[in-house]
Structure 1
Amino acid sequence: TVVTEVDVTAAPEAVSTEPAPRPTDPPPPTIAPADITPEPVDPTPTSEPGATPAGPTVEIVDIYRVAFVDENDVLNVRAGAGVDFDVVGELQPDATGISITGQGEVVEGSVWVPIATGRISGWVNSLFLTRDMKNDAVCDAAAVQQLMAELELALSEKDNNALANLIHPERGIHVHYNWWSDEVWLRHEEVDSLFTDNTDYTWGVQDGSGLEQIGTFSEIMLPMLQKDLLGASEYACNELLNGGTAGLVVLPAGFEQYNFRSFYRPFPEGGVEMDWGSWAVGFEEWDGNWYITYLVHYQWEI
């Protein structure tokens, strides 16, 4: 077991829980807080790709919450950094008020941090934490508007470097063909060449036919992003926008802890009502920068 120290800013305060591990537990970098002063709000819902949007900034908090843990799972709190240590507590998927109390340690490629919450203290994998700053006004923040404008530009120009800059290389991005399908979790070198990479992934299955959607990012996901995200005309913050459907329209379990922006393309005037599509784009602040954390697609279902 390799153990090295990583600076992780301690956070004040604390509440009450290691889920089934995802493919690899990548380490996030140093967690650093920042206080930012608000500016006037720009009421424009979105910006032209490449434009620098105006809007308020947002205060970064030092309290964390559990994230990306399934509703039937828990986040184990251990006596030390790594899975070799005993479990001393459990955090529920919706646990909040978690404080990081000291420096983190890298154990076999994962950053573990000491935490305290209520009567529980110990170590958790920081991959399953995010700042507790769910706020419906955050989408109007200048930094978030800029993030979304840069995402639109990267997709429009199919720019590998531009897209990679919006995705944390270790924490990665979670992609869902539809909300109920198994996710594809992309990180490290996978995010550096998404538009040109020839790797085939199983992205999900078509509703109704049950056909597996197997192919590259550019073959399967990019056309839907270009049609429904770049073609969106309605937007919302922390609210899923959708057209008529017989299926549920919800976030995957463990995703609701993140702020997200909805991009909705309604069916065209005079067109078929089933011809609509939308995306939920999750985002977070980490180590002083804002990143896209997930992409979830929605469309008409049987």
Structure 2
Amino acid sequence: MKKLIIPLIALTLLTACKKTPEKPVPNIIDSMAQVKEKSIETVAQKKKTDEVAVKTANDKILQALKSKDYKTFASFIHPEKGITFSMYGFVDPKEDMHFSKADFEKYLFTKTVYTWGAQDGSGDPYKATINDYLTKWVFSRDFTASQYSLNKFIAGGNSLNNLKKIYPGQDFTENYIKGTGKDGEMDWKTIRFVFEEFQGKQYLVAVVNDQWTI
């Protein structure tokens, strides 16, 4: 009799298990995908607003440089992080000239000479006042008539461009003037501005010039 009871119990339990409806398992992958998609949409919406602000700041800075209105230029320097100047596309935070906003404004109209870097080819140090550097190097061409790009590089030379590595995730603009046929189009020049938002305004944290190097 005992032998008969055990199989009956087992059969009853098996039947009960089959009749019990399975609980729906939440699709974690789908949920994560939805969250990621919403995040991307949010970033895209924010980026759209930033594009207008960055382009406006870019154009005002170019116009200030063209007019030699360096007080207006200084107003775009990041209040806390200051500004770094790179002579060429390769950014070297340890060697490139850096100013706090206060120091830039303090020495802007003085005759203090700084070493901004080494000139390509000769390797000679490039020495100039802030005023001369902005006039003769940073704005050596009329970049108000240049080709504009946001977060994309137009110019591509033979020197290393590490801007995205040094300033990861930050908005940057490129203002590119193509080369001329008489020099094999190798006399192109570009100026890049790296921006960071602070208290609702776009500020400069870096000015990076670039051109064909030997």
TM above 0.5, yes or no, is yes
Provide the residue aligned with 2:190 in structure 1: 278
Runs of 4+ in structure 1 over 4 Å off: none
Residue of structure 2 in register with 1:160 after alignment: 70
Q: Provide the TM-score with structure 2 as the length reference.
A: 0.68
Show CA shifts across 1:136-159 (max 9, x none).
x56632x22221121012101111
Give the structure 2 partner of residue 250 of structure 1.
162
Measured against aligned partners, the alpha-carbon deviations of 1:41-68 in whole angstroms (never above 9, x if no partner) come to xxxxxxxxxxxxxxxxx63xxxxxxxxx
Following superposition of structure 1 onto structure 2, how do residues 108-147 of structure 1 map, counting pairs within 5 Å? Answer: 140-141=51-52, 143-147=53-57
Is the contact between residue 96 and residue 116 of structure 2 (CA under 8 Å) also seen in structure 1?
yes
Which structure has more relative contact order (CA 8 Å, sep 6+)? It is 2
Q: Which amino acid in 2 is paired with 1:145?
A: K
1:240 is aligned to 153
Distance 1:193 1:159, change over 3 A: farther
Please give the secondary structure, in 2, of the residue aligned with 1:163. Answer: helix
Per the alignment, residue 139 of structure 2 pairs with 226
Aligned twin of 2:86: 176
> CA separation in 2, counterparts of 1:172 and 1:262?
20
**Which of these two proteins has the greater Rg computed from alpha carbons?**
2
Q: In 2, distance between residues paired with 1:229 and 1:262?
A: 14
| Cα RMSD for the two superposed structures | 2.7
1:161 and 1:270 mapped to 2: Cα distance? 37
- The letter of the residue matching 2:150 is C
**Structure 1 residue 278 displacement after superposition:** 0.9
Shift of 1:288: 1.9
Task: Please give the per-residue CA displacement for 1:65-120, whole angstroms capped at 9, x wherever unaligned.
Answer: xxxxxxxxxxxxxxxxxxxxxxxxxxxxxxxxxxxxxxxxxxxxxxxxxxxxxxxx
Normalising by structure 1, report the TM-score. 0.50
Instruction: Please tell me whether the aligned partners of residues 242 and 249 of structure 1 are also in contact (alpha carbons under 8 angstroms).
Output: no
**Could you say what secondary structure the match of 1:227 adopts?**
coil
Structure 1 residue 247, shift from structure 2 partner: 2.3
Larger % of helix: which?
A: 2
Percentage of matched positions with identical amino acids: 28
Answer whether contact 2:77 2:101 (CA < 8 A) is retained: no
SS in 1 for 2:139: helix
2:176 and 2:191 in contact (8 A); partners too:
yes
**Greater percentage in strand:** 1
The aligned amino acid for 2:147 is E
| Residue 254 to residue 260, structure 1, CA distance change in 2 (3 Å) | same
User: 5+ residue gaps in structure 1?
Assistant: 1-57, 60-134
> CA distance change for structure 1 residues 264 and 138 in 2, over 3 Å: closer, same or farther?
farther
Q: Shift of residue 168 of structure 1?
A: 2.3
Aligned twin of 1:213: 126
The letter for the 2-side match of 1:274 is M
3-state DSSP of counterpart to 2:202: strand
Give the whole-Å Cα distance in 2 for the aligned partners of 1:198 and 1:138.
40
Structure 1 residues 162, 176: closer, same or farther in 2, change over 3 A? same
Q: CA deviation at 1:273?
A: 2.2
